[in-house]
Copies of this chain bind each other. A is one copy, B any other.
Amino acid sequence: MKVGFIGLGNMGQPIASNLIKAGHELTVYNRTKSRAEELLSLGAQVADSPGQAAQEAEVLITMLANDAAVEQVIFGTENSTGAIEELPTGAIHISMSTISAACGQQLASVHAQAGQGYISAPVFGRPEAAAKLWVIAAGDSQQIEQCRPLFDAISQGVFIVGEEPSKANIVKLAGNFMIASMLEAFGESFALMQKSGVEPKQFLEIINTALFKSPIYENYGKLIVEEKYEPAGFKLSLGLKDVRLVLEAAETATVPMPLASIIHDHFLSGVARGYGDIDWAGLGLINALDAGIEQKPDQ
């Protein structure tokens, strides 16, 4: 398939690369052009603007940091026309970014007005293992089937959660909330262990062996136990953004989420104290600081 691909960050790059390897024709765009070089060597075209990446695409994929970045690329800025104006009628925009439910909803509606398709398809998984991602897709079921070869090339499987695109965004956001809840619970427990004279490392081993048996508990637990908050796999400031978006979705749905509120406040305190760029497992650090435990995050 002819694919326009915008956003070559930590996640975008390996996804684009896997699409090329699976035989798709990619025209890629990234604000910092140098990030496109590797893909150029794999055979991708490199576009000079979002519009150019969209021009002849059957499918346009965006993988960007947040709502604002997606809106700039799709609707354009003072200096550049938006991709929506160049994307052919009948083409489909797949947004893989972790954006708000409201943004997903808006994209669905403007693309429909422009005679284009739209799928929200955020992913779970780590960039290192891009072929092992899981796709959470919502949108018109025919459009999703049409894009299946692309999803197959980059993931272990696709979960289709409905016709309304925003549902996929909500699932992705709530998934991140579930992880953040685990981080907060770890942070509080480890602080308790440390000040009660139990090795946090041993506590982690015990609860994961005897209770959770979960690789994600093991990996994140270890990050906190070893205070390895840098370099960030996923920045604390992005954790803040995602939990804020969860709370926005919850407000729309009229659902109180007090645990999400607490995590939000802890992330916000982390950013306020200067830790926005460390890993979001840094909830461990915030809890340690609140408990009067001295930690040195950057050693």
Q: Which residues on A are within 8 Å of B, measured CB to CB?
A: 101, 124-125, 134, 136, 157, 159, 161-162, 164, 166-167, 170-171, 174-175, 177-179, 181-182, 184-186, 188-189, 191-193, 195-199, 202-203, 205-207, 209-217, 244, 246, 249-262, 264-266, 268-269, 271-274, 287, 290-292
Which one of B125, B212, B272 lies within 8 Å of A216 (CB-CB)? B212
A19 to chain B, nearest CB (A): 20
A-B contacts, 29 listed (Cβ < 8 Å): A101-B196, A162-B197, A162-B198, A167-B198, A178-B189, A178-B207, A181-B259, A188-B257, A191-B257, A192-B246, A192-B253, A195-B253, A195-B254, A196-B253, A213-B216, A244-B251, A250-B268, A254-B291, A255-B268, A255-B272, A255-B291, A256-B265, A256-B269, A256-B290, A258-B258, A258-B262, A259-B259, A272-B290, A290-B290
Q: Are B256 and A211 in contact (CB under 8 A)?
A: no
Q: Are B259 and A261 in contact (CB under 8 A)?
A: no
Chain B residue at minimal CB-CB distance from A209: B134
Which one of B162, B199, B217, B255 lies within 8 Å of A191 (CB-CB)? B255
Q: Are B189 and A134 in contact (CB under 8 A)?
A: no
A198 partner residues in chain B, CB cutoff 8 A: 161-162, 167, 170-171
Q: Are B174 and A189 in contact (CB under 8 A)?
A: yes
In the complex where A253-B192, A256-B265 touch, is A210 in contact with B134 (Cβ < 8 A)? yes
A260 partner residues in chain B, CB cutoff 8 A: 188
In the complex where A181-B182, A182-B182 touch, is A136 in contact with B206 (Cβ < 8 A)? yes
Most buried by B among A181, A244, A265: A265
Which one of B159, B211, B244, B250 lies within 8 Å of A179 (CB-CB)? B211
Q: Are B259 and A188 in contact (CB under 8 A)?
A: yes
A255 partner residues in chain B, CB cutoff 8 A: 188, 191-192, 195, 268, 272, 291
Q: 4 nearest interchain CB pairs?
A: A272-B292, A181-B185, A214-B214, A134-B210
A184–B207 alpha-carbon span in the complex (Å)? 18
A59–B67 alpha-carbon span in the complex (Å)? 37
A95 to chain B, nearest CB (A): 18
Most buried by B among A185, A217, A244, A287: A185
Given contacts A261-B262, A290-B290, 18 further A-B pairs with CB under 8 A are A157-B209, A159-B209, A161-B206, A174-B207, A175-B207, A177-B189, A181-B182, A182-B182, A191-B255, A192-B246, A192-B253, A192-B257, A196-B252, A212-B214, A250-B268, A255-B268, A258-B258, A274-B292
A134 partner residues in chain B, CB cutoff 8 A: 206, 209-210
In the complex where A185-B177, A198-B162, A274-B292 touch, is A262 in contact with B259 (Cβ < 8 A)? yes
A60–B238 alpha-carbon span in the complex (Å)? 41
